[in-house]
Amino acid sequence: MTQSNNSHRASGIALALISASAFASLGLFAKYLFAYGMSVQQALAWRFTVASAILWIWSLATGRHKRPARDYRSAVLLGLFGFAPQAGLYFVTVKLLGPGLTGLLLYLYPAFVVVMGSLFLRKRPVRAQLIALILSTAGCVLTLWTRGQYPAAGYILGVLVALTYAAYLVAGERVLAKLDPVFATTVLMSAAAIVYWSITLATNAFSLPSQPSVVAAVLGIAAFGTVVPIVMLFAAMARIGAADTSLVSTVEPLVTIALSAAIFGDRLSLLQLGGGALILAAVVVIQLEPVLDRARQES
């Protein structure tokens, strides 16, 4: 491998790490907004409004908005019935369990994708996927074994978040494959913003951020917790591919746990950390399989 290729790969890994670290801040910003009394639906409405506004500026500037009506329709439907519900469940779970534990449980989704692909798309799982399924199941059991101070409903929602995210990915696989990722993300978030503004206004939960710290948190959750990681993710994928990017991204829940402990003093038990390690090991196993296959083919 030439020095140029080494540099290209190193920059891709760095971008993937930045993306994962920025995504890790999402639950922390959400917890901060909840602490100031903002409702889940209001926090999501502000997040998606500001993020989609930034992305629309980008899309209009680069011409990514010039798509046929069917592309808009597909992305809007996926946003309304896939992305928006999953995002809401994630924020509710953060409110109950905190960012760290929610982040760990979310990473059950790769194993759920394998199961759903086998059941609904008739994709036969390979050995690595079956190993990952066993690891993630064991990790889930271990993580939930000692509930501690957290409510049981939070754990149920945490697993449900991973299930709904997996369902969203499986259902949207064909739709998203045909769409420009920036365009799709822009429309998805716009649809989600409409959903959560509707819920906010219907429940009289509207609140205008006035304190500088709350305004900063809203801007942070939209820009640093949403737009920055998406941009960095696409840039990383362009350099090192989707499989390697996904593998590097498994550091996300670890960063979330570290930040949550440093900022909010959250601590997980050793059993919960052990369960989280098994869940992350399952993700690594799934992602390493295509990487190793490609390496064998190139050697």
Nearest in space to 183 (alpha carbons), one of 74, 293, 29: 74
> DSSP letter string over 115-126?
HHHHHHS-----
Give the pLDDT of residue 55: 93
- Please give the pLDDT value at position 3: 59
8 Å CB contact between 254 and 291? no
Query: Which amino acid makes up residue 93?
Result: T
- Residue 178: what pLDDT? 80
Q: Which helix (H) or strand (E) holds 231?
A: helix 228-248
Which residue, chain included where needed, has tokens 């038990």? 269
Record the tokens describing residue 270, joined without a space. 């050793």
Separation of alpha carbons 252 and 275, rounded Å: 16
- The pLDDT tens digits along the chain (299 residues) read 455 666 777 788 888 889 888 988 998 999 999 988 899 999 999 999 999 999 999 999 999 889 999 999 989 998 898 889 999 999 999 999 888 888 888 888 877 877 787 777 676 777 777 787 788 778 777 766 665 677 888 889 998 998 998 888 777 777 777 888 888 889 999 999 999 999 999 988 888 888 899 999 999 999 999 999 888 888 887 787 766 777 677 788 888 888 888 887 777 777 777 887 887 787 777 667 666 666 566 66
